[in-house]
Amino acid sequence: MSETSQFVEEVHPQHFRMRYEIENVLFEGESSFQKVKVVQTKGFGKMLLNDDLVMVSERDEFIYHDMLAHVPLFVHPNPKKVLIIGGGDGGTAREVLRHSEVEKCTMVEIDEMVVEACREFIPQTSSVFTNPKLDLLIEDGVKYMKESKDLYDVILIDSTDPIGPAAPLFGKEFYQNIYSRLSDNGIVVSQGESPFYEQEMQKKLQSLVAPLFGCHSFYNFHNLTYPGGLWSFLFASKGLRPVEDLSETKVLDSKLSFQYYNVETHKASFQLPEFMKKVLF
């Protein structure tokens, strides 16, 4: 790596930085919501950055998207209608629509610039945008949840951190609306933040979800390009349990193959280390 290399640098508030070596900047723009950038990296493929934070890299996006989509879709006995709030790169929708029983996936992304940048430069995630089962809406997810009358079997909150455009997604009213829009067996999974760096945010999220839902639990996954490498989702449902109600037969019968997800990692991901159990209730 020569000293004349170009880098994109991610600055974290907790006194460290990640620098990725890049070949060139493919897209750079500023929407009404955030700075949007797509870079061609060395070693990590293309990378989407919102407000200079890594959202997606081609090298490791399979992990996040596997664990966000397949965990609830294999627990739910018959998920026909799925809603994604956020997820502008398309990776979550791509994995959702691999499940043949899903009849319709609605995706509500606030920032058209993210969608268009990914459509042009990151087909690995965005090629799903031409799937006829996908209904892609450019709209405020909070407003959508307030006004929509549709019911969903699974809702996925594929959001950035609760700063900038995603801040209202960490609100009480938003989760009340989610509850109302879920069918009887409904499951919601939310981007659950870093167990190392964002314990307060995890407690906040838990305090929004716990009073509404019969069952809730954080689960962990690994991510190369998120700070600390350990990241989580929050699973909440009207009753379905994430480990006990997982149908192994359903996973086998789906004949889907994955790079990260399998029945064992699904179950293992809900086993939390002590320092998380001490923080969460």
Query: Residue 135 CB: number of other CB atoms within 10 A?
Result: 13
CB of 256 to its own copies, least distance (A): 11
Residue 247 — φ and ψ, nearest 5°?
-95, 105
Q: Within 13 A of 200's CA, how many CA atoms are on the CB side? A: 1
User: Nearer to its own copies by C-beta: 90 or 195?
Assistant: 195
Q: Which is nearer to its own copies, 204 or 267 (CB)?
A: 267
Interacting residues with its own copies (CB under 8 A): 1, 7, 11, 13-21, 41-44, 60, 63, 196, 220, 222-224, 226, 228-230, 257-262, 264-265, 267-269, 271-275, 277
CB of 146 vs its own copies, minimal distance in Å: 37
Residues in the chain: 281
Residues 6+ positions from 248 with CB-CB distance below 8 Å: 263
Query: Looking at 111, 158, 245, 253, which residue is catalytic?
Result: 158
* Coil, helix or strand at residue 257: coil
Cα 201 to Cα 35, 157, 179, 184, 266, distances in angstroms: 23, 15, 20, 28, 23
User: 172 vs 277, which CB is nearer to its own copies?
Assistant: 277
The answer to whether 126 touches 89, Cβ cutoff 8 Å, is: yes
Cβ 133 to its own copies, closest distance in Å? 25
What the block records as the tokens of 48 is 């989407």
Q: Is 158 annotated as catalytic?
A: yes
**Shortest CB 85 distance to its own copies, Å:** 26
What are 47-50's contacts with CB under 8 Å, separation 24+?
A: 47/8, 47/20, 47/22, 47/225, 48/89, 48/114, 48/117, 48/118, 48/122, 49/8, 49/10, 50/111, 50/114, 50/160, 50/164
Q: C-beta of 188: minimal distance to its own copies in Å? A: 23
Instruction: Pick the closer one to its own copies by CB: 130 or 257.
Output: 257
> Which of 16/52 has CB closer to its own copies?
16
**Catalytic annotation, residues:** 158
